[in-house]
């Protein structure tokens, strides 16, 4: 079979990405996180590398998180930085922002952080306890505020009113593009969302374009997203 050479339409791009979940510690041995595994981020990074980009990849790590596997020959163009908390993610991403031409925010950032994690292990007791949560750093918001000409693609996972919420976020966050996708409700397994190999959704642009992407493997969805914005 003929080998189709890759289209190097991102050869002059340096993409700053955020991916994976963030976590917030409760005490020395416990933490809170979400179901993100970083698979959609990995697919976006791999496709960008295939198209010739340099990728600064800020990854929230947790058990089972997926790291991008650079296509052969692109290994030197992937720069991986591993973090855990939203605050660490913001700091690491802000450091990489000045060199970036565009930002792709796939990370599932914890919206709240534990106010005062305990340095020692909390002991079991019989009474109920309450955990104080405070808003986390808005990673994408901090990057937008510090931007100097970069374009921005955000991701939104929604259980309800996907397009309406997506359009609201595109506007409120001042993004150029937003990929909104459906995630299944609690207890209802489905083909889109967390820890599954497939995805589907709507790519919205600030110019008002709207592209529905049908259910497909995450690498295929990533290819279509880059086709539309590269
Ligand atoms: N995001 C971020 N930092 C946060 C929250 C979100 O960088 N603290 C980014 C995500 O990586 C994503 C986009 O913002 O690209 C939208 O995330 P989402 O959680 O859907 O937006 P929120 O404004 O937090 O809305 P929601 O209340 O639905 O969680
Ligand atoms: Ca959120």
Interface predicted TM-score (ipTM): 0.99
**Domain segments of the chain: what residues?**
14-112+137-229
- pLDDT-derived band of residue 225, with 50, 70 and 90 as boundaries? very high
The pTM score is 0.96
Question: pLDDT > 90: what percent of the chain?
Answer: 90
Report pLDDT for 43.
Answer: 98
Residue 218 CA to chain centroid, in angstroms? 13
pLDDT tens digits, residue range 22-79? 999 999 999 999 999 999 999 999 999 999 999 999 999 999 999 999 999 999 999 9
Report pLDDT for 6.
Answer: 75
Fold of 14-112+137-229: Rossmann fold (3.40.50)
Nearest to 194 by CA among 16, 7, 33: 33
Q: Which protein residues are within 6 Å of ligand 1, measured from CB?
A: 18, 86, 105, 107, 109, 111, 136, 138-140, 154-156, 169
For residue 195, pLDDT beyond 80: no
Mean pLDDT of 182-190: 82
Average pLDDT of the chain is 95
Report pLDDT for 100.
Answer: 98
- Pairing mode, if any, of strands 198-205 and 210-217? antiparallel
In the 8-state DSSP scheme, what is residue 137? P
For residue 211, pLDDT beyond 90: yes
Lookup: tokens for 69: 């596997």
Determine the distance separating the centroid of ligand 1 and the alpha carbon of 72, expressed in angstroms: 32
- In degrees and rounded to multiples of 5, residue 109 shows phi and psi of -80, 135
Task: Tell me which ligand sits closest to the C-alpha of residue 141.
Answer: 1
Report pLDDT for 184.
Answer: 83
**Does the annotation count 34 as an active-site position?**
yes
Give the span between the Cα atoms of 141 and 160, in whole angstroms.
23
- pLDDT-derived band of residue 188, with 50, 70 and 90 as boundaries? confident
Question: pLDDT > 70: what percent of the chain?
Answer: 100
- In sequence order, the β-bridge partners of residue 18 are 58, 105
- pLDDT-derived band of residue 190, with 50, 70 and 90 as boundaries? confident
Give the span between the Cα atoms of 141 and 194, in whole angstroms.
23
Residues around ion ligand 2, judged by CB within 5 A, are 111
| DSSP run (H or E) holding 210 | strand 210-217
- Residues annotated in the binding site, as ranges? 111, 121, 155, 169, 173
pLDDT tens digits, residue range 96-124? 999 999 999 999 999 999 999 999 999 99
Give the span between the Cα atoms of 130 and 207, in whole angstroms.
45
For residue 3, pLDDT beyond 90: no
């Amino acid at each position: 079979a003929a080998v189709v050479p890759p289209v190097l339409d991102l050869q002059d791009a340096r993409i700053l990405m955020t991916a994976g979940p963030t976590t917030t510690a409760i005490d020395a041995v416990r933490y809170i996180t979400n179901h993100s595994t970083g698979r959609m981020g990995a697919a976006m990074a791999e496709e960008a590398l295939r198209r010739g980009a340099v990728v600064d990849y800020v990854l929230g790590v947790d058990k089972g998180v997926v790291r991008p596997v650079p296509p052969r020959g692109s290994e030197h163009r992937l720069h991986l930085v591993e973090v855990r908390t939203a605050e660490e993610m913001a700091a690491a991403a802000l450091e990489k922002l000045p060199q970036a031409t565009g930002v792709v925010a796939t990370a599932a950032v914890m919206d709240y952080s534990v106010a005062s994690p305990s340095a020692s292990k909390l002991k079991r007791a019989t009474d109920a306890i309450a955990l104080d949560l405070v808003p986390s750093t808005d990673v994408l918001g901090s990057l937008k505020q510090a931007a100097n000409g970069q374009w921005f693609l955000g991701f939104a996972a929604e259980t309800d009113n996907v397009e309406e919420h997506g359009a609201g976020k595109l506007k409120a966050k001042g993004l150029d593009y937003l990929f909104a996708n459906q995630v299944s409700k609690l207890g209802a397994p489905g083909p889109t969302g967390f820890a599954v190999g497939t995805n589907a959704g709507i790519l919205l642009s600030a110019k008002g374009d709207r592209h529905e992407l049908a259910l497909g493997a995450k690498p295929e969805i990533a290819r279509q997203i880059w086709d539309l914005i590269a």
